[in-house]
Amino acid sequence: MRFGVHSQMLVHDLDDDAMWIFERARDWGLDALELHVADPETFPADAVRRASAEHGIAVVLGTALNAHNSTVSDDAEVRAKGRRHLRGCVDIAVRVGAPKICGGLHSANGHFVGRGRTADEWKRSVSALREAGEYAGERGVTLTVEPVSRYSGYFLNTAADAVALVDEVGLPSVGVQLDTFHMNIEESDMAEAIRLAGPRLKHFHAVENNRGIPGTGQVPWVDCFTALSEVGYDDLCVFEFFPVDLPVMARRTHTWRPLATSEEVAVEGRRRLSALL
């Protein structure tokens, strides 16, 4: 098992001046960074590739669709934008040597329409993920779809939802991602949710129930790591925390009080969870 942090624990969006985060991750004893891709056309791919090699920090990519490029939208032009975004992220992954693209790849994150998902939306997501997954698989890249809590999205909320979506897509290049912060809200048994994902589980966010230091809250880490071992997951565990001193992300994630520092989440979280391996 290896440990990493999400780039938005340190910066909001990446540019050439943000490459100091690789040195920070190295100094914190981490193995990888999950880098947020807001726009593939402006992503600093060349700088990322150099910094990754210089500091020995592996990279995976993370992204999220929004209301303007959701692949489940009723608007065909909006859906097309989402498909182009996913394809662009795959191209970036190839350029920087990232084996995975993670996150809200299935629908718009943080966008609500006053109801649950429809059958038509489900079909649109399957179609878009199948197209993107075929493109990714041909290039050695895996896509992982992340169910989020009802407060972050309405389309995909549980591990069972994610398993059903991935199984319908039916490609080895499209897998499940789980996040213990969201699981703490939506799952009745987090370990069983991990077992349900089984071999489909391709990415894992290790996040405390209050987004504080992993191992200091209510997430049943022993049970979760036992289940991870049972399903053969031996890949990245990524910490995801949004400090109040990054105001854009703090507002977006409703973080109004200081829980910890990013360094504490990364260093102490890694120490606590490594002891469970």
- Whether residue 78 contacts residue 70, with contact meaning beta carbons closer than 8 Å, is answered with yes
Q: Is 168 a catalytic residue?
A: no
Which residue in 37, 12, 44, 151 sits closest to 103, CA to CA? 37
Residue from 146, 186, 187, 208 carrying the catalytic annotation: 146
- Whether residue 243 contacts residue 212, with contact meaning beta carbons closer than 8 Å, is answered with no
For the beta carbon of residue 234, count every other beta carbon within 10 angstroms.
10
Tokens of 87: 């394809």
Q: Is 131 a catalytic residue?
A: no
CB under 8 Å to 41, separation ≥6 — which residues? 88
- CA-based angle 199:61:169, to the nearest 5? 45
Which residue in 3, 60, 6 sits closest to 249, CA to CA? 6
Residue from 34, 187, 208, 240 carrying the catalytic annotation: 240
Give residue 198's identity as a one-letter amino acid code.
G
* Active-site residue set: 146, 240
